[in-house]
Amino acid sequence: MVVAVEKLEKTQEQDIEIIKSDNWELPVMNLGEGKYLWRPKTAVLPYYLFEGPSLTHRSHGINLTKDLSIGVHGPRGSTKTLTLSFLSAKKMRMGQPSWDNWPISFYVVEPNCWDKCKDHRCNLCYKGALTYYENFPLDMDKVYTFDSELSKGQVGFTEFQYYVEARTSGRIQNRLLSYQIMQIRKSALSFFYDVQNEGWVDKRFGWSDDIKIFCRDVSRMNYDYEQVGREIEEGEFSHWTIKDISGVATGIPFADSQLEYGPYQFDGYNFWWIYPTKWKIDVYDAVYSMKQDTTKADKEAIIGQAVMEAVGSFLEEKRYQVFTTEMAERATRLSGIQISTIQCGRVLSPLEVPRPQNPKGKCLYDLTVFLEEENK
C-alpha cells in the first residue's frame, strides 16, 4: 500500500481524472499504473470462494458472523491490505455493509450460473447470474460523532498508524477512536485494521483486539521451486499465523495459552482485483481527519469530543461516580458551548454507561465501565 504525502491544491484537483463507481469517486492517479492499474466493477469471483468457514484448522478458526476487532500485521508487501480486503469482502457477501478507507468492488457469480457453465468467461458474459458488492467510503465525521448509521457492519482502516499513532496516544482523536472500538459489540460493528508493526499504533487498540493475523508473502520466503515448477508471484500466496487475543476463536485467551495458530495458506491471487493495490492514503487527511464537513457534524463532533474529554478528565482524577449534571458542566467548560445532560446522554448511552442513583435519588454515571473495557 502506497502513501500520498503531498496534499493537492484545490486548483489542481479540477484537472484530476475521476472514475466514479456506485459509492466512490476515484482519482485515476490513486489506481496504479501499468499492470497495477485498477478499475471498479471488473473483478468477477465464483461463489465458492465465499463459502465454508472464514478460516479453519481443526477446531480453530475465525467466525466472521461475530462482531470482532482484528489487527493485521506484517512487513511491507506481506499481503496485509489484501487480507483486509478479503475479510471485508466476506462481510459484504454475508449481507453486511462495509465502510473502509480504500475501495473494494467485485461481482460474485452465483451457483445457478457457475455450476452450469463450462467456459467460465464470466467477465465477458452479460447473461450470467452476478451479484455486485461494493464498500462505502469511511466518513470520519460519522466515526467521531458515534453516528448510529455505522452499525451492523464492519469498519476497516489500512495504514492505521496515520490515524492513531502511538506517539500521539493522548490526543482526543486517538481517544474517540478507541472508545468506538470499545463499543463494537454494542453497535454490532466489526473493526479491521492493518499496520506493519503493532507497536506503531496507540496501545489501546492492541488491548481491544480479538484476533491478530500476522502475514508473510510466500514469494519472499524459501519454497520448493521444483515442486511448484515456477516462480510464485508477489501476493499470490501468503501464510497467516494467528493469535487469539481475547479467546473468541479457541476459548483460551492468548495471555493464558501463549499459542500461535497456523501457518494457514491464504490464496490471495483469487482476490487481487477487488481493490487497487497501489491505492494512496492521504496522510494529511488521515492525521487531521477530524474535519467535520457539515454544520450538523461539526456541532455533534464538538459535543461528542467534549463529553469524551470530560470522561477522560474524570478518569484521570480517579473519579468514577459522576453526577449527570457534573458531566454536563465539565463538557460545557471544555467545549465553550452549553451542553445539556440530555446531550451527554446521547453520547454515552450507546456506550451503555450505567446510570445508578445515589441515596438521594440523583442520577450518576458509573465510569468504571471504561476501566473494564481498557483492561480486557
Number of domains within the chain: 2
Residue 317 reports pLDDT greater than 60: yes
Tens digit of each residue's pLDDT (9 = 90 or more) over 67-84? 888 989 888 888 889 999
Q: Which of 1-5, 235-239, 334-338, 356-360 comes out lowest in average pLDDT?
A: 1-5
- Distance CA(301)–CA(143), nearest Å, equals 9
Supply the pLDDT for residue 206. Answer: 56
155-207 pLDDT, tens digit each:
888 887 776 554 444 445 555 555 555 555 556 788 898 887 776 565 655 55
Boundaries of domain holding 304: 295-374
Angle of helix 341-348 versus helix 324-335 axis, rounded to 10: 90
- Residues 111 and 233 reside in one and the same domain: yes
pLDDT, average across residues 50-64? 58
pLDDT band at 349 (very low <50, low <70, confident <90, very high): confident
Interval 282-293: pLDDT, tens: 654 544 454 444
Is the pLDDT at 16 greater than 80? The verdict is no
Of the CA atoms within 13 Å of residue 2, those in its CB half-sphere come to 13
Overall average pLDDT of the 130-145 stretch: 80
Do both 171 and 312 map to the same domain? no
Q: Within this chain, do residues 342 and 253 fall inside the same structural domain, yes or no? A: no
Do 349 and 243 share a domain, yes or no? no
Do 211 and 351 fall within a single domain?
no
- Give the list of residues 6+ apart from residue 248 with CB closer than 8 angstroms, or none: 63, 66, 68, 210, 211
Boundary of a domain, candidates 258, 287, 316: 287
Per-residue confidence band for 40, with pLDDT thresholds at 50, 70 and 90: very high
In 118-266, the DSSP E strands lie at: 130-134, 136-137, 153-157, 189-194, 211-217, 238-244, 261-266
Which of 3-12, 115-124, 174-183 is the most confident on average? 115-124
CA dihedral 47, 51, 57, 62 (to 10 degrees): 110
Same domain, 248 and 331: no
Average pLDDT, the chain: 77
323 and 270 both lie in a single domain: no
The pLDDT of residue 230: 81
CA 76/CA 298 separation, integer angstroms: 36
Q: How far, CA to CA in Å, does 355 sit from each of 146, 324, 346, 349?
A: 19, 9, 13, 9
Query: Residue 97: how many CB atoms within 10 A of its CB?
Result: 16
Estimate to the nearest angstrom the gap between the alpha carbon of 333 and the chain centroid.
33
Overall pTM > 0.85: no
> Domain check: are 110 and 212 in the same one?
yes
The set of cell numbers assigned to 15 is 484537472
Report the alpha-carbon distance of residue 236 to residue 266 in Å, rounded.
9
Query: Do 238 and 362 belong to one domain?
Result: no
In a domain, 16, yes or no: no
- pLDDT value of position 87: 93
Could you tell me whether strands 56-57 and 189-194 are parallel, antiparallel, or unpaired per DSSP bridges? Answer: unpaired
**The C-alpha cell that represents 247 in the structure block:** 479467546
Half-sphere exposure of 183 (CA within 13 A, CB side): 23
Residues pairing with 71 in the sheet: 193, 212
C-alpha grid cell, residue 235: 501476493
- Residues in Cβ contact with 19 at an 8 Å cutoff, skipping those fewer than 6 apart: 25, 26, 28, 31, 39, 40
39: Cα separation from own chain's centroid: 22
* Calpha distance 154→106 (Å, rounded): 17
∠ CA 196-201-204, nearest 5°, is: 135
CATH number of the domain bearing residue 204: 3.40.50.300
Query: Does any domain span residue 12?
Result: no
Given 233, 266, 287, which residue is the final one in a domain? 287
Domain for residue 258, yes or no? yes
**Does 220 fall in a domain?**
yes
Does the structure show a pLDDT above 60 at 52? yes
Rg (CA), the chain: 23
Residue 20 lies in a domain: no
Q: In 3D, which of 219, 233, 215 has the Cα closest to residue 272?
A: 233
Q: The CATH number of the domain where 324 resides is what?
A: 1.10.10
Domain membership of residue 27 (yes or no) is: no
Shared-domain flag, residues 135 and 196: yes
- Of 66, 64, 68, the C-alpha closest to 52 is 64
* pLDDT band, very low/low/confident/very high, at 105 (cuts 50, 70, 90): very high
Residue 135 domain-assigned (yes or no)? yes
Out of 225, 256, 287, a domain closes at 287
Residue 353 has pLDDT above 90, yes or no: no
Return d(Cα 348, Cα 308) in angstroms, integer.
9
Q: Specify if 34 maps to a domain.
A: no
Task: Give the range with max mean pLDDT: 224-238, 301-315, 318-332.
Answer: 318-332
Range 252-262 average pLDDT = 89
Query: Do 332 and 273 share a structural domain?
Result: no
Residues 208 and 141 in one domain: yes
